[in-house]
Amino acid sequence: MTAARTGWALWGDRLLLAITIIVAALWLLPVIWVVTMSLKPNAELMRSTWGFIPYPFTIENYTNLIQLATVPRWLVNSLIVAIGMTLLVLTVSSLAGYAFARLQFPFKRTIFALMIAGLMIPEQAVFLPLHQMFADWGIHNTHAALVMPRVAVPIGVFLMMQFFRAVPRELEEAAELDHASRFTIFFRIMLPLSVPALTTLGLFTFIHAWNDFLWPLVSATDADMYTVTVGLASIQGNFAMSEGLGSVMASAVFASLPIVLLFLIFQRFIVAGVAMSAGK
């Protein structure tokens, strides 16, 4: 729609844009409001929660939060889990994705079909048996227990396979004639080339891990092992009457900071990833 518009059409465009801006502002309003509350004294919030300018202003809610140490502890848990999960998913997915894209092995089609079938197994179908298995192994309330169930994601393998398939075959053939072994080809040629795909998959995995709720809720029962997502839920129950409304809001903001920063830095990869996964 690059053609120049004139008259009514131009005004239509402008009106549409204006409406879009207003909707976007309203969309963002709750976030701004929460940040505002987190920067107001609790006493002020008892009087009124209305307003979008943090006045009277205080960072007390945040300093309390850090001194309390539970929320930072959860944050560290979340970071360990999310980073660990991301690295594992990237490793497992890129290795298997490459095998499906470019290696020959017996029963390839069958194994591939089985993997695709795995796409249809939802978390809810396996979280109870997993809980029983992990209880048997005695590994609940560890970081490993929070990470492991999320490593077996066929979608990651599928995305990496799609990416590797798009790499010109001649590149690998050239490398083969250059005396490169399969491993050299993979680590020196294919992996460096797949940095954008890895970034995208990594971002989605990280966000997913960070926001995971059901599994950490049932696996991490020890408050020290909570992730921020579960931890926040535990202090959220009676906030409406809470006198520490500002603190609750501060912990929500605090818990969201890493993920929002990540989003703002890498958003173009997210868009690219959506385009990639939508492209069949």
Question: Among residues 75, 81, 99, 146, which is the contact residue for another protein, using CB under 8 A?
Answer: 99
Q: Does 113 bind another protein (CB under 8 A)?
A: no
What single-letter amino acid sits at 132?
Q
Among 10, 14, 15, 16, contact with another protein (rule: CB under 8 A): 16
Residue 120 interacts with another protein (CB under 8 A): yes or no? yes
Work out how close the CB of 177 gets to another protein at its nearest, in angstroms, rounded to a whole number: 5
159 contacts another protein (rule: CB under 8 A) = no
Give the residue, chosen from 73, 140, 143, 182, that forms a contact with another protein under the rule CB under 8 A: 182
Span from 60-68, 138-146, 179-187 in contact with another protein (CB under 8 A): 179-187
**Which of helix, strand or coil describes residue 38?**
helix
Using CB under 8 A, which residues numbered 213 to 242 contact another protein?
213-214, 217-218, 228-230, 232-233, 236, 239-240
Give CA–CA dist 127/58, Å, rounded: 43
Residues in 35-74 that interact with another protein by CB under 8 A: 37, 45, 49-50
Query: Is residue 56 reached through a cis peptide bond, with omega within 30 degrees of 0 on the bond before it?
Result: yes
Q: What is the dihedral of CA 68, 70, 75, 80, to 10 degrees?
A: 130
121: alpha, beta or left? (left if phi > 0; alpha if psi -120 to 50): beta
Among 29, 43, 59, 76, binds another protein (CB under 8 A): 29
- Name the one residue in this structure whose structure tokens are 């194994």: 111
Distance CA 124, CA 197 (A): 28
Q: Is 271 in the site for another protein (CB under 8 A)?
A: yes
Number of residues that bind another protein (CB under 8 A): 116
**Out of 56, 106, 110, 238, which residue is the one contacting another protein (CB under 8 A)?**
106
Orientation angle between helical segments 70-102 and 108-118, nearest 10 degrees = 150
> How far is it, in rounded angstroms, from Cα 151 to Cα 119?
13
Q: Which of 79, 80, 83, 115 binds another protein (CB under 8 A)?
A: 115
CB of 104 to another protein, least distance (A): 6
Q: Please provide the size of the chain in residues.
A: 280
A 10 A CB-CB count for 107 gives: 9
CB of 58 to another protein, least distance (A): 18
Q: Alpha-carbon distance 232 to 255, whole Å?
A: 8
